[in-house]
Structure 1
Amino acid sequence: MSEETIFTEVDEELRRERMRSIWRRVAPYVIGAAVAIVLLVAGNEGWSWWQKSNAARSSDQFYTAVELAEAGDVAAAEEALNTVIAEGSGQYPLLARFRQAALLASDGQTEEAVAAYDALSTDLPDQRMRALALVLAANLLVDAGDVGAVQSRISGLLAPEDPMRNSAREALGLTQYAAGDIDAARATFEEIIADPTGSMETLSRIQLYLAQLIAEGAADPAPVAAPDTAASEATPAE
């Protein structure tokens, strides 16, 4: 093996590691932003129920579980969350299930966490919560590079009107990159850039991904050719 070949392989590996490093830095924020949606829903519901004196107990139990998890007492947090799921009122059992899945993920139990999110995505009546569970599961599958597993979860979220579309695209693009398909990853990220409703935070992050992919030689996605209206309107000669 020539020295040039060795240097090329080392350079490519360094580039891949830079992309992985970017994802590791931003992953907590991506996932945290998604979880914040659930927290917001639960917070609004919790305030309403607190005023009516109906959910004070569930609220206390849930936030006790959160504090235990943050303190590193995973076993006690799990037990407290199970209590909320079994006995809680309002939206707190739902919030506890999401928090339980996140706790499994932070404890390194990725397969169990994905299974927990998958269960949420199939048995929740609220479509937004189902979509959130699917995106969170997809984010946990990024490092494995299993594009099929991610696509099976987020394919229904890619419609232009779906509010979770860019989160779904980001998970897909990162998984494509992890699988070594840098051209597909660039095409996916370009779709996010082209979305006029994308947030500045998301666009800034995607620009970092794209810069890395371009440095690695990812091909520029071919523009979609406009239909030849003249040809389509022409009537074949008889």
Structure 2
Amino acid sequence: MVDIFDEVSEDLRHERAVNLAKRYGGLLLLAAILVLVGVGGQQFWQARKARLANQAATQYLALTQTMDQPQGQLTAGAADAAAQKLVDFSKSAPEIYKTMARLRAASLYANAGELPKAALLWSRVGADEAAPQLMRDAASLLFAQHEIGIDNNADILGRLQPIVQESNPFHGLAREMQAMVYLNEGNIAMAKSLFTQVQDDPNTPQGAQNRAQAMLAKLNG
């Protein structure tokens, strides 16, 4: 009798499974396909992302190899043309290469005397939240360096403010730029205070310390 009940129970389970398969088999198959597509899709996008990064690296190196010579050997026209190629490349490049291309193009524009074009690129990199923070800070410093006396001082100081924090590796250079802004405004007391901080900060690059010391000597002379 037990065997009969077992067989009936097994038959019922089998029948239930068949009915479930008939009713929901399509949905279960679809769910399984979606899972597989999700996993495969993720792997596909990761592979595609890696492939695009490799392509971008190759393109970036190809573009910059012809520029890797002393800036004095590049005519203004050649530098301008090279910078434009980098700008065009940056429009479709992955984030890190986009940022690198913009910074390199800005440098070429600056050396070619095209400061407004350089400043525009530095400003864009500095405001790009997807770009690496150190690159954003470097771009803001370069913008400040070239725009003192040209751009609004309040705008420059606003760009420098996040960088002057002690935890930022560029804080000494940012303070030096702040001092130059105040000096340009005629606020000698604030400029001297900032130059003194730069001069006395052991974590500031030696070159910046030396420049601050020289400026203090002139201002105190």
Distance in 2, matches of 1:159 and 1:136, equals 17
1:126 Cα deviation after fit: 1.4
Give yes or no for the alignment of 1:118 onto 2:120. no
The residue aligned with 1:136 is: 142
The 5 A counterparts of 1:60-209 are: 60-67=62-69, 70-72=73-75, 73-86=78-91, 91-123=96-128, 124-144=130-150, 146-209=152-215
**AA at the equivalent of 1:202:** A
Structure 1 residues 61 and 107 mapped into 2: Cα distance closer, same or farther (>3 Å)? closer
Matches within 5 A, 1:51-66: 55-66=57-68
Q: Which residue of 2 aligns with 1:28?
A: none
Extract unaligned runs of 5+ from structure 1.
Answer: 1-48, 216-238
Query: When you count helix as a share of all residues, which structure comes out higher?
Result: 2
Superimposed CA distance per residue, residues 107-144 of structure 1 (whole angstroms, 9 cap, x where no aligned partner): 33333322211111121331111111111111112244
1:68: how far off?
Answer: 9.8
Identity of aligned residues (%): 22
Distance 2:213 2:113 in 1: 29
Query: CA RMSD for the aligned pairs?
Result: 2.8
Quote the Cα distance in structure 1 between the aligned partners of 2:200 and 2:164: 14
Q: Which amino acid aligns with 1:174?
A: M
CA 133–54 in structure 1, closer or farther in 2 if over 3 Å, else same: closer
CA distance in 1, matches of 2:204, 2:120: 29
| CA distances 1:52-94 after superposition (whole Å, capped 9, x unpaired) | 8983443121222455965111343134323532465684432
Question: Would you say how many aligned residue pairs link Structure 1 and Structure 2?
Answer: 165
C-alpha separation in 2, matches of 1:145 and 1:207: 26
Higher relative contact order (CA 8 A, sep 6+): 1
Contact 1:101-1:117 at 8 Å conserved across structures: yes
Q: Judging changes above 3 Å, is the alpha-carbon distance between structure 1 residues 100 and 153 closer, same or farther for their aligned structure 2 residues?
A: same
The change in CA–CA distance for 1:61 and 1:89 in structure 2 (over 3 A counts) is: farther
Q: Tell me the TM-score normalised to structure 1 length.
A: 0.60
